[in-house]
Amino acid sequence: MATEYGQGYGLDSGSGFPGSTERRHRLPTALRAPVEGRTWRELAHVLLSLPVGILMFTYAVTMVSLGAGLLVTFLGIPVLAAALAGCRGFGALERTRARTLLGLEVGEPEPLRMTKPGAMAWMGAVLKSGVSWRALLYAVVQLPWAVFSFAVALHVWLLGWALLTYPLWFWALPMHAGPDGLQLYGDGTHRIYLDNPFEITVTALVGLLFTIAAPWLVRALTMVDRLLVHGLLGPSRLASRVVELESDRGVVVDTAAADLRRIERDLHDGAQARLVALAMDLGLAKEKLQEDPRAAARMVDEAHGEVKTALQELRDLARGIHPAVLTDRGLDAALSAVASRCTVPVRVEVDLAERPAPAIEGIAYFTVSELLQNISKHARATWAGVEVWRTEDRLMLQVVDNGVGGADVSGGSGLAGLVDRLDAVDGILVVDSPTGGPTRVTAELPWRGAHMR
């Protein structure tokens, strides 16, 4: 996900159907377009737009006028709410239609936010929601466009196919039943019929031109539909950002909870268990002190060993929670300390004129620490390098090693966790790790200065 800069944003105006442009055909695109499934779907969309548009427009205008007219009485509000709710329903229908026929990727808009249950609250929510009013606007605006695009598309399309097949029906239709073919021009005295082979060929060629042009015209027409659906029926930009932030916040909360669980678990299985064992040893030693001082001395000795191990475990755990040196001396010192614990020699270069905000510093530290741990565990490298620098308003980290490569951000690896963590602060992690190495992991964090502390 992190490697695909700028993809998946905005209007997917190109090929709605994945793979349709990649496939190699013997026919050139221009000739293939008129008979492609995609073209038919788009044409179907344009043709369907008119009846749907009429229905929507009639409904919306009638109901809203009725509601507005009744506003002087208490009935106006419910009617207006019903009108808007209906428009939302039409909106959902239109989104589905655009998704299936145009292949448009449009998200669901934000749902109604009801503070409490009940009909009154529902009406309030419908009337207050921007989505409702945008759906109403869509219902009104869509019709004129539908009329126009319907007429244009249908005419061009029919004309194209009719002229293209002119030779066929010139030949098939009985000559004596009517005039001699298509009349190009006629007044009282002159009549020009397209009836000789040359004229028939030219007519068919003109038809071919129209037929070839029709798909592109229809596509151009549906662009407006796409914009309308995207702009008026999709989620607003603000709402999209809210959804994004909500998911980021979820990740933050989840990682915080997971961290707490891990710390509790480490304490429970590590230092706490060791201290219980220590207490047990000392308890036994106390019992033995009188009757068997030698055994007691041995137990005290064991307990001494236990307490030293417990101290070591506590120290590791505390450092895992937050290394003191990071707070005191900043990234350079902290990363040097991490590097010295790595199993391969690590060159650390930190080029920062000032210290970033503690939160950013912490994430940077844990990112490098996790990456170096990965190198120790999996990379089979003989050296590694860490670089930290600042560009404009971004803090950049790069960890390089000459190991076996093949690191992957997908799946339940530690890298996926890092991506989530960085994502939560609008950071990016890019992994370049071909099989056989070398591996280069670059992380980008937003720069925030330490002055906020």
Partner 1 sequence: MLDPSYGWARSRCGLRTGGIGLWGPDIVEDRVRVVIAEDSVLLREGLTRLLTDRGHDVVAGVGDGEALIKTITELDAQGELPDVVVADVRMPPTHTDEGVRAAVQLRRAHPGLGVLVLSQYVEERYATELLAGSSRGVGYLLKDRVADVREFVDAVVRVAEGGTALDPEVVAQLLGRSRKQDVLAGLTPREREVLGLMAEGRTNSAVARQLVVSDGAVEKHVSNIFLKLGLSPSEGDHRRVLAVLTYLNS
Select the span of 228-236, 281-289, 390-398, 424-432 touching partner 1 (CB under 8 A): 281-289
Q: Is residue 432 a contact residue for partner 1 (CB under 8 A)?
A: no
> What DSSP character marks residue 107?
P
Give the integer Cα–Cα distance in Å for 145 and 126: 27
Q: Is 246 helix (H, G, I), strand (E, B) or coil?
A: helix
Phi, psi for residue 210 in degrees, rounded to 5: -60, -45
State in angstroms the smallest separation of the CB of 45 from partner 1. Answer: 53
Q: Is residue 260 a contact residue for partner 1 (CB under 8 A)?
A: no
State in angstroms the smallest separation of the CB of 9 from partner 1. Answer: 42
Contact between 421 and 436 (Cβ < 8 Å) = no
State in angstroms the smallest separation of the CB of 293 from partner 1. Answer: 15
Q: Which is nearer to partner 1, 68 or 279 (CB)?
A: 279
Q: Is residue 281 a contact residue for partner 1 (CB under 8 A)?
A: yes
State in angstroms the smallest separation of the CB of 398 from partner 1. Answer: 37
Select the span of 122-130, 138-146, 277-285, 370-378 touching partner 1 (CB under 8 A): 277-285
Q: Is 222 helix (H, G, I), strand (E, B) or coil?
A: helix
> What DSSP character marks residue 233?
I
Give the integer Cα–Cα distance in Å for 349 and 389: 8
State the DSSP string of 322-381.
--HHHHHH-HHHHHHHHHHHSSS-EEEEEE-SSPBPHHHHHHHHHHHHHHHHHIIIII--
Look at phi and psi of residue 19 and say left if phi exceeds 0, alpha if psi is from -120 to 50, else beta: left
Give the integer Cα–Cα distance in Å for 144 and 64: 18
For residue 271, which of 319, 301, 312 has the smallest C-alpha distance?
A: 312
Q: Is residue 259 a contact residue for partner 1 (CB under 8 A)?
A: no
Q: Is residue 368 a contact residue for partner 1 (CB under 8 A)?
A: no
Ranges within 7-46 binding partner 1 (CB under 8 A): none
State in angstroms the smallest separation of the CB of 271 from partner 1. Answer: 11
The token pair that represents 74 in the structure block: 């208490």
The token pair that represents 10 in the structure block: 């905005």
State in angstroms the smallest separation of the CB of 268 from partner 1. Answer: 6
For residue 449, which of 367, 359, 328, 369 has the smallest C-alpha distance?
A: 359
Q: Is residue 111 a contact residue for partner 1 (CB under 8 A)?
A: no
* In the block, residue with structure tokens 């293939």: 32
Among 131, 282, 375, 422, binds partner 1 (CB under 8 A): 282
- Distances from the Cα of 356 to the Cα of 181, 388, 390, 428, 453, angstroms: 82, 12, 10, 17, 10
Q: Which is nearer to partner 1, 139 or 271 (CB)?
A: 271
Say what angle helices 358-374 and 331-341 make with each other, to 10 degrees.
Answer: 20
Q: Is residue 308 a contact residue for partner 1 (CB under 8 A)?
A: no
Phi, psi for residue 236 in degrees, rounded to 5: -70, 160
Q: Is residue 268 a contact residue for partner 1 (CB under 8 A)?
A: yes
Q: Is residue 351 a contact residue for partner 1 (CB under 8 A)?
A: no
State in angstroms the smallest separation of the CB of 274 from partner 1. Answer: 7
Give the integer Cα–Cα distance in Å for 439 and 91: 48
Among 280, 297, 321, 450, binds partner 1 (CB under 8 A): 280
Give the integer Cα–Cα distance in Å for 297 and 313: 24
Cβ atoms within 10 Å of 65's Cβ, excluding its own:
12
Q: Which is nearer to partner 1, 313 or 423 (CB)?
A: 313
Q: Which is nearer to partner 1, 287 or 408 (CB)?
A: 287
At a CB cut-off of 8 Å and minimum separation 6, what does 209 contact? 160
State in angstroms the smallest separation of the CB of 273 from partner 1. Answer: 5
Q: Is residue 273 a contact residue for partner 1 (CB under 8 A)?
A: yes
Among 241, 265, 308, 347, binds partner 1 (CB under 8 A): 265
Q: Which is nearer to partner 1, 263 or 428 (CB)?
A: 263
State in angstroms the smallest separation of the CB of 312 from partner 1. Answer: 14
State in angstroms the smallest separation of the CB of 250 from partner 1. Answer: 23
Q: Is residue 311 a contact residue for partner 1 (CB under 8 A)?
A: no
At a CB cut-off of 8 Å and minimum separation 6, what does 134 contact? 91, 109, 232, 233, 236
Q: Which is nearer to partner 1, 246 or 287 (CB)?
A: 287
Q: Is residue 304 a contact residue for partner 1 (CB under 8 A)?
A: no
Select the span of 177-185, 206-214, 278-286, 428-436 touching partner 1 (CB under 8 A): 278-286
Q: Which residues pair with 442 in a beta bridge?
A: 398, 430
Q: Is residue 262 a contact residue for partner 1 (CB under 8 A)?
A: no
Q: Is residue 279 a contact residue for partner 1 (CB under 8 A)?
A: yes
State in angstroms the smallest separation of the CB of 286 from partner 1. Answer: 7
Among 244, 254, 269, 426, binds partner 1 (CB under 8 A): 269
Q: Is residue 297 a contact residue for partner 1 (CB under 8 A)?
A: no
Which residues contribute to the site for partner 1 (CB under 8 A)? Answer: 265, 268-269, 272-274, 276-277, 279-284, 286-287
